[in-house]
């Protein structure tokens, strides 16, 4: 289902978090308009190719298309706001006008403002509104949903030596504090989503513990977003498979997430993930149907 951001449609917060259909996990398709993203860097840096790919993601079943103009892979360097805006604003505008529900993946207030003006209806911030002290005000004023993602360190250094005594407990407490800070900044709780930050300042064991313990985060009272698609953990568990050979592992993580009630999975391979979730849901529904 493609979610259309028309003025007469239900509120964006309800549509993009799936609250109108709590039994279905939504799929967020990844569109990297960057030269250096870990999986497909440079493939969609051309504006026309980016727009075509975004529309294809929506046609393949993406409920949300998440557009990003700055890579946050391990070791990535910062992109200036003007360059990031020039990359994403025309793409967001075209996708939104074509009926796609667009999220923008950014940590900068000026980029958020430009993307919202172009038609984005959701903010996905890997810094959980900590990178730019103006970003919370932008989100609050716009009244749009925001994803607050856990991270340890910044992209340039986050994988050098991440350490936790209790990764589940520490990530939970950190997200709890960020949700509270967002509310204090004027963002309504029903507009807040959380992401445990798979791969952002975490080793293999941390990622697996988080994936196995996702259900814990429901007690924060916010929809959960999980993005494990093509990540390094998949490669580490499959003979060091390169990023373009990680589809099976990515789907395995998506199914593990949805089994624990996650509301949104963020993926590169939309068609295959949507198909897997439909089959999983069919088996679940059949198993719950009483035999006459």
Selecting among 93, 230, 231, 246, the annotated active-site residue is: 231
The DSSP call for residue 224 is B
**Is residue 119 scored above 80 in pLDDT?**
yes
Query: Residue 11: what pLDDT?
Result: 39
**Is residue 157 scored above 80 in pLDDT?**
no
Selecting among 266, 281, 284, 291, the annotated active-site residue is: 266
**Is residue 102 scored above 50 in pLDDT?**
yes
Domain ranges, ordered by start, for the chain: 12-286
Query: Residue 285: what pLDDT?
Result: 85
Does the CA dihedral 21-6-140-195 come out positive or negative?
A: positive
Task: Establish whether 278 is a catalytic residue.
Answer: no
Instruction: Look at the pTM and tell me if it is higher than 0.85.
Output: yes
Query: Residue 194: what pLDDT?
Result: 98
Tell me what the mean pLDDT of segment 137-159 comes to.
Answer: 87
Domain 12-286, CATH class in plain words: alpha beta
User: For 55-69, 77-91, 115-129, which range has the lowest pLDDT when averaged over its residues?
Assistant: 77-91
Task: Establish whether 266 is a catalytic residue.
Answer: yes
């Amino acid at each position: 289902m493609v979610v259309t951001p028309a003025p007469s449609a239900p509120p964006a917060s309800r549509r993009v978090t799936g609250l109108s259909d709590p039994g279905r996990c939504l799929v967020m398709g990844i569109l990297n308009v960057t030269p250096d993203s870990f999986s497909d860097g440079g493939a969609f840096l051309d504006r026309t190719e980016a727009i075509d790919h975004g529309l294809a993601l929506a046609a393949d079943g993406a409920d949300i298309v998440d557009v990003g103009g700055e890579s946050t892979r391990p070791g990535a360097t910062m992109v200036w706001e003007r360059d990031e805006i020039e990359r994403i604003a025309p793409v967001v505008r075209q996708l939104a006008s074509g009926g796609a529900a667009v999220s923008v993946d950014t940590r900068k207030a000026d980029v958020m403002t430009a993307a919202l003006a172009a038609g984005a209806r959701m903010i996905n911030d890997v810094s959980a509104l900590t990178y730019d002290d103006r970003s919370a005000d932008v989100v609050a004023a716009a009244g749009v949903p925001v994803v607050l993602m856990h991270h340890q360190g910044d992209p340039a250094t986050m994988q050098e030596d991440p350490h936790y005594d209790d990764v589940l407990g520490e990530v939970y407490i950190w997200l709890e504090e960020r949700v509270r800070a967002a509310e204090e900044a004027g963002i309504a709780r029903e507009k807040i989503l959380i992401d445990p930050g798979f791969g952002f300042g975490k080793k293999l064991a941390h990622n697996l513990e988080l994936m196995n313990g996702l259900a814990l985060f429901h007690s924060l009272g916010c929809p959960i977003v999980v993005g494990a698609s093509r990540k390094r953990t998949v490669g580490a568990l499959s003979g060091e498979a390169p990023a373009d050979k990680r589809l099976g592992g990515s789907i395995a993580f998506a199914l593990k997430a949805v089994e624990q009630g996650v509301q949104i999975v963020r993926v590169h391979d939309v068609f295959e993930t949507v198909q897997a979730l439909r089959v999983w849901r069919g088996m679940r529904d059949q198993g719950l149907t009483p035999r006459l």
